[in-house]
Amino acid sequence: MYAGLSRADLHEDPIVQFERWFKDATEAPLHTPNALSLATATPDGMPSLRTVLLKAFDHKGFVFYTNYASRKAREIEANPRAAMLFHWLEFDRQVKIQGTVSRVGVAESLRYFASRPRGSQIGAWCSQQSSPVGSRQLLEQAFESMKRRFGEGEIPLPEFWGGYRLSPIRIEFWQGRENRLHDRFEYLREGEGWRIQRLAP
Ligand SMILES: Cc1cc2nc3c(=O)[nH]c(=O)nc-3n(C[C@H](O)[C@H](O)[C@H](O)COP(=O)(O)O)c2cc1C
């Protein structure tokens, strides 16, 4: 059982608090500690959920990358609110984040795209993510033809691919404890600051 979380342990700034827990997760031998569940919803409230990878975070928000025509992107464009869930099972911890979502700038997406392996860059060009595809073979043919098209040259950023940043309005830290008396603290955005309160488990 891990140590509990008390009000005195918490940093006043939830981004610093997140950084502490994220550091614990990344320094432990966890598989993909930056994986999170991302929930979006249509404007009429039908939710959908998938895993994405956290690629950056700071006081502006939490960044992931995706295809701008995917289901998640379509939902975000129509209803720019989302929730993120990190679950670090080995630490008996979860972090829940809710906020508003907007696209990151093209320069920022390009910087990240350029850092990806060449195969992933080509893959981004040939997947119309979340649309029906006739067969695996069609995907592989598209990959080979994109590979030929780009040759040895630099692969440009597709205009249909890039990042989103979730700017948080609520962040909750959950630490599992004995007898289900878990520790939960939520940070609620208030003006430029945050209000912190303990929640019942
Ligand atoms: C461990 C893991 C990491 C993933 N990371 C991403 C990611 O960073 N971006 C992304 O678009 N899809 C990622 N995926 C795929 C998504 O879960 C999802 O299948 C895809 O984005 C299509 O989702 P949508 O149809 O809801 O838009 C990941 C899947 C797994 C299992």
* pLDDT number for residue 131: 93
- What is the pTM (predicted TM-score) of this model? 0.97
Ligand 1 contacts CB of residue 139 (under 6 A):
no
Tell me the CB-side half-sphere exposure of residue 185, using CA atoms within 13 A.
Answer: 20
Ligand 1 contacts CB of residue 69 (under 6 A):
no
pLDDT in tens, the chain (201 residues): 568 999 999 999 999 999 999 999 999 989 999 999 999 999 999 999 999 999 999 999 999 999 999 999 999 999 999 999 999 999 999 999 999 999 999 999 999 999 999 999 999 999 899 999 999 999 999 999 999 999 999 999 999 999 999 999 999 999 999 999 999 999 999 999 999 999 999
The amino acid that residue 50 corresponds to is R
Mutate to test the pocket of ligand 1, among 30, 40, 50 (most ligand atoms within 8 A of CB): 50
The closest-lying atom of ligand 1 relative to the alpha carbon of residue 73 is: 27
* pLDDT number for residue 181: 94
> Residue 39's closest CA among 9, 82, 1?
82
* pLDDT number for residue 117: 96
Ligand 1 contacts CB of residue 65 (under 6 A):
yes
Q: How far apart are CA 93 and CA 16, in angstroms?
A: 16
Q: How far apart are CA 100 and CA 60, in angstroms?
A: 11
* pLDDT number for residue 3: 84
CA 105 to chain centre: 16
Q: How far apart are CA 68 and CA 106, in angstroms?
A: 12
Mutate to test the pocket of ligand 1, among 46, 53, 57, 120 (most ligand atoms within 8 A of CB): 53
Whether 195 sits among the annotated catalytic residues: the reply is no
Residues contacting residue 32 through CB under 8 Å, at least 6 positions apart? 53
* pLDDT number for residue 48: 98
* pLDDT number for residue 50: 98
The amino acid that residue 149 corresponds to is R
- Residue that is written with structure tokens 């690629």 in the block: 55
The angle formed by the CA atoms of residues 41, 44 and 45, to the nearest 5 degrees, is 40
* pLDDT number for residue 2: 67
Q: How far apart are CA 43 and CA 36, in angstroms?
A: 22
- Residue that is written with structure tokens 């303990």 in the block: 198
Tell me the domains of the chain and their CATH numbers.
7-105+162-199 (2.30.110.10)
